[in-house]
Amino acid sequence: MIQTTDTVMMVRPVRFEYIDDKALNDAFQKDGSIRFAQKEELDEFDNYVRMLRAEGIIVMEIEDEAKPFTPKSIFPDCWFSVHTKIERANQYKILKNDLIKSSQFINDLPDAEKYIVIYPLKCVEKREEKYKTPIKILKEHYDGKYYVIDLSSFEKEDKFLEGNDSLVFDRDNKVIYATNSEKTNEEVLEYLASYLDYKYFLFDATDQKGEVISKTNSILSIGKKFAFLCLEAIKDTKQKKAITTLLKDCGKEIIEISPEQVDNFAGNIIELHTMKDGIRQPVYVISAKAKASLKPEQIELISDYSIILSPEICGIEKNCGGSARDMLGEIF
């Protein structure tokens, strides 16, 4: 039972700003009508935090620092991920798939309760976030019972791996899914897989304009029961069949989403859990805009299994280019 968590980190920015930077390579970012939309978006952020806490989700809310200015600190999920001793020791499920790969590297790690991975980022502005208050608070939270796997040195070689943007983890079955792009270097991915003792599945995906999809978490989300997947984004027939088979073999029921739904952030959904009267209750978090794009039968499938939280974050989505899942750093 390690796929989901009841604790998340959220970073409250000092100010919002639309960034016109090709290095962000973010097809979801729209040029807002205003360059600074502080009040509207901070209200959205605060309401989102309240909604999570009201449902019993533990939120580590961190105030960003003014200097250095990090304009997209509201999205902490790309620069770190946390993994557990139990997760690394978990046994593989037997998977018969010739496209799933194992790392050829051998990387031993010290014994620790938690492993904090720090990722090499393509966007220079995002790199500053790794060395500010959030990482200090994260280390304090684990009180010395952690080991840091810092992959940042790959930035000097222009090799990148952008955390939960590039990667989708099936923690229960020890498989990492990633779309092939300039933000996801296979050598770095293989190093990560060796450290965590995972296998990985690297595939090609393009949007409706034929452009490479660099945010794997925009077209794929994996929870305990469901996998949300935009199959239309995968043009290669062999890869399409392989990922479908792999997800099913791992016990996931696929909810297929369309490219139009992806454009409305429907792929940027995350399963958390809360504890009520000693019973584990799944909680799916998806933005109000994304939920509105789902079909009634899709909503019914989710709501029969889980609570659905749908924060209204249209201003953040419009001006910052990310959505509900991007704003949550999972704490295990």
The enclosing domain of 152 has a CATH number of: 3.75.10.10
Question: Amino acid identity of 48?
Answer: Y
Q: Phi/psi zone of residue 139: left (φ > 0), alpha (ψ -120 to 50 degrees), beta?
A: alpha
Per-residue pLDDT band for 97 (boundaries 50, 70, 90) equals confident
Residue 1 lies in a domain: no
pTM score, two decimals?
0.93
In sequence order, the 6+-apart residues with CB closer than 8 A to the CB of 304 are none
Residue with tokens 């899914």: 177
Q: What is the mean pLDDT of residues 150-178?
A: 97
- Asked if residue 33 has pLDDT above 50, the reply is no
- Who has greater pLDDT, 240 or 66? 240
Per-residue pLDDT band for 181 (boundaries 50, 70, 90) equals very high
168 has which bridge partners?
177
In this prediction, residue 21 carries a pLDDT of 44
Helical segments of 9-82, H only? 38-54
Mean of per-residue pLDDT scores for the chain: 92
- Burial code (b: 16+ CB inside 10 Å, e: under 16) for 282-299 equals bbbbbbebbbebbeeebe
- Asked if residue 93 has pLDDT above 90, the reply is no
3-state SS assignment for residue 266: coil
In this prediction, residue 28 carries a pLDDT of 54
Do 44 and 310 form a contact (C-beta atoms < 8 A)? Answer: no
Per-residue pLDDT band for 23 (boundaries 50, 70, 90) equals very low
Looking at 28-37, 122-131, 181-190, which range is the least confident one?
Answer: 28-37
Burial class (CB in 10 A: 0-12, 13-18, 19+), 68: exposed
C-alpha distances out from residue 258 to 267, 293, 298, 306, Å:
9, 10, 12, 22
Residue 2 lies in a domain: no
Structural domain for 36, as ranges: 7-331
Question: What is the number of structural domains in the chain?
Answer: 1
Residue 176 lies in a domain: yes
List the Cα angle 64/81/2 in 5-degree steps.
125
Residue 77 lies in a domain: yes
In this prediction, residue 16 carries a pLDDT of 67
Question: Amino acid identity of 76?
Answer: P
- Asked if residue 94 has pLDDT above 90, the reply is no
Residue 53 lies in a domain: yes
pLDDT digits (tens, 9 = 90+) for 148-157: 999 999 999 9
CA distance 78 to 215: 10
In sequence order, the 6+-apart residues with CB closer than 8 A to the CB of 50 are none
User: Residue 122 carries which DSSP code?
Assistant: S
Helical segments of the chain, H only? 38-54, 85-89, 124-127, 133-142, 163-166, 186-196, 237-249, 259-263, 288-293, 296-305, 314-320
Q: Does 110 sit behind a cis peptide bond, omega within 30 degrees of 0 on the bond before it?
A: no
